[in-house]
Structure 1
């Protein structure tokens, strides 16, 4: 037999900044903050109250691309 010390730890926390469909960060009044974009696990509200491992892969790819395209459009 082998024994190891096991302790609880935080796997993942839910939450983060809210974004719109252009990946723009939303302020507390519900308005987009000009020039501020976010994607991936820094954003909140996509998965609801729980996250299943691997779910963020699609968010990172989709909203990362949207954020980049929106940032380029904003800069022009």
Structure 2
């Protein structure tokens, strides 16, 4: 399967997002140094592929990260 298919089919409660900072910036920033703030571009692509809002993706991926790493604030 290709990555877009995996993103579409993955259960919401199993998704986390990250950047490859400082390498491999997302498409709108390609060629620049990657920054953690660019994670919003990752969330936007996931939202596009899944037909969800960026806010929805941010909410459930944040909840998933907190569940996986309970010591996070």
When the two structures are superposed, what TM-score results if normalisation uses the length of structure 2? 0.31
Query: When you count helix as a share of all residues, which structure comes out higher?
Result: 2
- Larger CA Rg, structure 1 vs 2: 1
Higher strand share: 1
